[in-house]
A and B are shown apart, each in its own frame.
Chain A
Amino acid sequence: MRRARGFVVTFVVAAILGTVGTAAAYHTRFVADNCNYAASTPTSYITRDGSAAVALRARYEGYQWAGGCWNDNDRDDSPNDPREDPATGGEGGDCSGFTFKVWRESLDQSSAGFEQWGLLRYVHGPYTAAAFKAGTGAPNVTVSKTALIKMDALASDTHIGLIYAANPDGTDQIIEAKGEDYGTGVWTRTYRGSSSYSGVRRTGWSS
């Protein structure tokens, strides 16, 4: 059942990605000019702050629905591309693609191993925010929201963000790919207390 669900998610994401490159309305060539499809590199371990460093390198970069490729020049190289269009070829990941890459997950949902993806590797991964929320995939489990720590995630049916730090007032600093108008960055959020959100953890961190 879990595999079947994973297949459906993969299919849907692949279908969305398949439309990239056929966009007629928008014109950024960020993906075409910069991104690659190189193989990932299996790695034996990753620490939580190593993962945070990967995430921070995406900060100030763009957002692209269904995307997964960005550079590290601290600006959105495809600003103002249309919202809600997965086919504009713009810079950045979306929330779930960003999480997949930062958590160094595998395209094989049955594998819990770590895969290093280059910043410019165009990859979204097989999971939507809702799939992460459900703990879909071998590396991912749901966790009580009171037990979350740095680089665990809070996921709803439509969004996922990673916990970067706690604030004294009970809010969290979340690192996330938020949307076309926001790009990728660290913001104060109140996801933890919201009943729309659940706690998710990538397993297997090195300590």
Chain B
Amino acid sequence: MPIAVLLVGISVSAAAIVVGGAALAQRSPLVPGAVFEATHLPPLLVLPGEPVQLTYDVDCLAEGVDDAEARCGVAGSLYLRARGGGDFEKLPLQQADARGVRQLTASVPDSFVVAAHGFDYYAELERVGTNDRLLVPPGGEAAPYQSRVLSNAIDVNIGAADFSAHRRGARVASARWGDDTASVGLEPGRSAGHLGASAFDVDEAGTVFVLDQVHRRVLRWARGARLPARVPISVDGGLADLAVSDDGSLYVLESVARPGHAGPLVRRFDETGRELDVVETAERSPSQIRVGPNGPMVLEHPSHQWTPMALDGYPLPPNEQRRRATTGRPLRSGGEAIVLRTGNELRIAVTSGDHIVRSWRLTSATPLAEVQLAEAIGPRLVVVVRTFTESADEFRVVVLDQHGIAQQFSVASADWAETAPLSRFRLVGRSLYQLGSNATGAFVDRYDLEVR
């Protein structure tokens, strides 16, 4: 039975609220006012023999102290093993200071970087003299970071951006800014910039769904329709991401946690806007929601891991989300897509089980910013990454195959108004869709990719 059907079955009469668990998290469960947090950029994809230094930036301040230099003592251990199982080896984390940022660090022994499949690891950090502990990532041994070795990556160079030759898409939906029935809301911008048309998605039939967070509704354009239908939904009205499942369910990932809770909510609505269930995310600032092979999943931060929101149709509480987190984004093909941007280089891998089945090292003469999308079309991978200078930016669309670049083109950033951070592109079949905006309104454009 499809999970979505099960979800409807178990929760059609009342919204089931799953609240935060008490497991270790990035946010220390201390009294208000205490600061104990660590951030870490995991080296998800490394090159054979590449030196790997793991660093944890630690912020720690005792509660009630109004002096930022009155730091807490921190210490920690790293737990490391070769991929494929076995016991974790415990290594001490060393104190370091990099340009005024306190860190705990450890070097990964070379033997782990030449291993066939890379290494798994997690860290346990403590506030010295207390019982306060942090696991990074928060799933610890159950869901460690997985760092893989890129042995046979295909090198591709996308050259330099010129910010002028932009492909134009076919406009499939548009709405003016405003408050009437066919308009899309724009959060007032005098104090904080323009925020509007928070996110979108497209289903297999070509129906376009735009999350109009200001009016707490989804605007839905049937394929070829000029005007949208309106689906009212009960959301908090802030920036949020949207994903539509095959059964028509609308998943909305809010961005602000309720007081006393660690993470924002994922809400599920049926196609009429009736709320079916609600689940709290495990971490403080998830950045996107997508429907994966086993249901809705969220990219969490600060862990940078993908976590499932449901299992066998049942919403998962946060502690179970943490335990089932994965490093890569689960694909419907059964593998994962892993992305790591380092400067002007983008490392990308598609995995199957413990093996990397395809990988690329994409370099650019123009700086790279965020990867908006990395999804498979059969054996190919479609990547959308923003390139930028100090005064210009655009999105580069690159279709990668076993030979390198199968197709590439640029599109305008079209980001007059801010959306949820990774909500600007969707890939459906062989069509790429972009949510854009200008001073007049918001729109969705379609680009048909020339891949067989």
Q: How far is the CB of A143 from chain B (nearest CB, A)?
A: 10
User: When A57-B61, A167-B301 are in contact, do A84 and B191 touch as well, CB less than 8 Å?
Assistant: yes
In the complex, the answer to whether B100 meets A170 with C-beta atoms within 8 Å is no
Partner of B255 from the list A54, A149, A187 (CB cut-off 8 Å) is A187
In the complex, the answer to whether B59 meets A52 with C-beta atoms within 8 Å is yes
Q: Which residues of A contact B304 (CB under 8 A)?
A: 167-169
Q: How far is the CB of B177 from chain A (nearest CB, A)?
A: 16
Q: Is A112 an interface residue (CB 8 A)?
A: no
A-contacting residues, B247-289, CB 8 Å: 255-257, 259-260, 284-287
User: Which residue, A54, A188, A192, has most C-beta atoms of chain B within 10 A?
Assistant: A188
Q: Which residue of B lies closest to A52 (CB)?
A: B59
User: When A47-B100, A48-B100, A195-B388 are in contact, do A73 and B44 touch as well, CB less than 8 Å?
Assistant: no
Q: Which residue of A lies closest to B239 (CB)?
A: A182
Partner of B301 from the list A49, A95, A173 (CB cut-off 8 Å) is A173
A-contacting residues, B19-69, CB 8 Å: 32-33, 35, 37, 39, 41-42, 44, 57-61, 63, 66-69
In the complex, the answer to whether B100 meets A207 with C-beta atoms within 8 Å is yes
User: When A72-B33, A75-B260 are in contact, do A170 and B371 touch as well, CB less than 8 Å?
Assistant: yes
In the complex, the answer to whether A165 meets B57 with C-beta atoms within 8 Å is yes
Q: At the interface with chain B, which of A5-13, A25-33, A156-164? A: A156-164
In the complex, the answer to whether B259 meets A169 with C-beta atoms within 8 Å is no
Q: Is B131 an interface residue (CB 8 A)?
A: no
Q: Is B18 an interface residue (CB 8 A)?
A: no
Q: Which residues of B contact A167 (CB under 8 A)?
A: 41, 287, 301, 304
In the complex, the answer to whether B370 meets A57 with C-beta atoms within 8 Å is no
Q: Is A94 an interface residue (CB 8 A)?
A: yes
Q: At the interface with chain A, which of B152-160, B317-325, B390-398? A: B390-398
Q: Is the interface of A mostly helix, strand, loop or mixed?
A: loop
Q: Which residues of B contact A144 (CB under 8 A)?
A: 390
In the complex, the answer to whether B39 meets A164 with C-beta atoms within 8 Å is yes
Q: How far is the CB of B46 from chain A (nearest CB, A)?
A: 12
Partner of B393 from the list A60, A150, A195 (CB cut-off 8 Å) is A195
Q: Which residues of B contact A49 (CB under 8 A)?
A: 57-59, 71, 100-102
A187→B60 CA distance, assembly (Å): 19
B350-392 CB mask vs A (1 if < 8 Å, else 0) is: 0000000000000000011111000000000000011111111
Partner of A188 from the list B63, B301, B392 (CB cut-off 8 Å) is B301
Q: How far is the CB of B223 from chain A (nearest CB, A)?
A: 29
B-contacting residues, A104-147, CB 8 Å: 116, 118-119, 144-146
In the complex, the answer to whether B256 meets A195 with C-beta atoms within 8 Å is no
B-contacting residues, A152-207, CB 8 Å: 156, 158-159, 164-171, 173, 178-179, 181-183, 185-190, 192-196, 198-199, 205-207
A50→B72 CA distance, assembly (Å): 11
In the complex, the answer to whether B57 meets A150 with C-beta atoms within 8 Å is yes
Partner of B238 from the list A119, A156, A164, A182 (CB cut-off 8 Å) is A182
A190→B301 CA distance, assembly (Å): 14
Q: Is A3 an interface residue (CB 8 A)?
A: no
A-contacting residues, B132-172, CB 8 Å: none
In the complex, the answer to whether B100 meets A83 with C-beta atoms within 8 Å is no
User: When A194-B393, A195-B392 are in contact, do A116 and B67 touch as well, CB less than 8 Å?
Assistant: yes
Q: Is B422 an interface residue (CB 8 A)?
A: yes
User: When A76-B259, A145-B388 are in contact, do A181 and B369 touch as well, CB less than 8 Å?
Assistant: no
In the complex, the answer to whether A56 meets B192 with C-beta atoms within 8 Å is no
User: When A53-B35, A195-B392, A195-B393 are in contact, do A205 and B100 touch as well, CB less than 8 Å?
Assistant: yes
In the complex, the answer to whether A166 meets B393 with C-beta atoms within 8 Å is no
Q: Which residue of A lies closest to B190 (CB)?
A: A84
In the complex, the answer to whether A158 meets B256 with C-beta atoms within 8 Å is no
A147→B207 CA distance, assembly (Å): 42
Q: Is B452 an interface residue (CB 8 A)?
A: no
Interface size on A, residues (CB 8 A): 66
Partner of A95 from the list B61, B192, B368 (CB cut-off 8 Å) is B192
Q: Which residue of B lies closest to A179 (CB)?
A: B192
Q: How far is the CB of B55 from chain A (nearest CB, A)?
A: 11
Q: Is B293 an interface residue (CB 8 A)?
A: no
A59-102 CB mask vs B (1 if < 8 Å, else 0) is: 01000010000001111100000011010000000110000000
In the complex, the answer to whether B237 meets A170 with C-beta atoms within 8 Å is no
Q: Which residues of B contact A95 (CB under 8 A)?
A: 191-192
Q: Is B334 an interface residue (CB 8 A)?
A: no
A-contacting residues, B302-348, CB 8 Å: 302, 304, 339-341, 343, 346
B-contacting residues, A30-54, CB 8 Å: 43, 45-54
User: When A186-B284, A188-B301, A194-B393 are in contact, do A57 and B99 touch as well, CB less than 8 Å?
Assistant: no
In the complex, the answer to whether A158 meets B41 with C-beta atoms within 8 Å is no
In the complex, the answer to whether B68 meets A46 with C-beta atoms within 8 Å is yes
A-B contact list, 11 entries, CB within 8 Å: A49-B57, A53-B60, A72-B32, A72-B33, A158-B192, A168-B304, A171-B369, A173-B301, A179-B195, A185-B284, A207-B100
* 15 further interface pairs, Cβ-Cβ under 8 Å (given A74-B33, A84-B191, A182-B238): A49-B57, A50-B100, A52-B101, A53-B68, A57-B33, A57-B35, A75-B259, A95-B191, A150-B101, A168-B41, A171-B369, A179-B187, A190-B421, A193-B370, A207-B97
**Which B residues form the contact surface with A (CB < 8 A)?**
32-33, 35, 37, 39, 41-42, 44, 57-61, 63, 66-69, 71, 97, 99-102, 187-195, 236-239, 255-257, 259-260, 284-287, 301-302, 304, 339-341, 343, 346, 367-371, 385-393, 413, 415, 421-422
What 6 pairs between A and B have smallest CB-CB spacing?
A: A193-B369, A50-B68, A165-B39, A188-B287, A47-B100, A170-B341
**Which A residues form the contact surface with B (CB < 8 A)?**
43, 45-54, 56-57, 60, 65, 72-76, 83-84, 86, 94-95, 116, 118-119, 144-146, 149-150, 156, 158-159, 164-171, 173, 178-179, 181-183, 185-190, 192-196, 198-199, 205-207
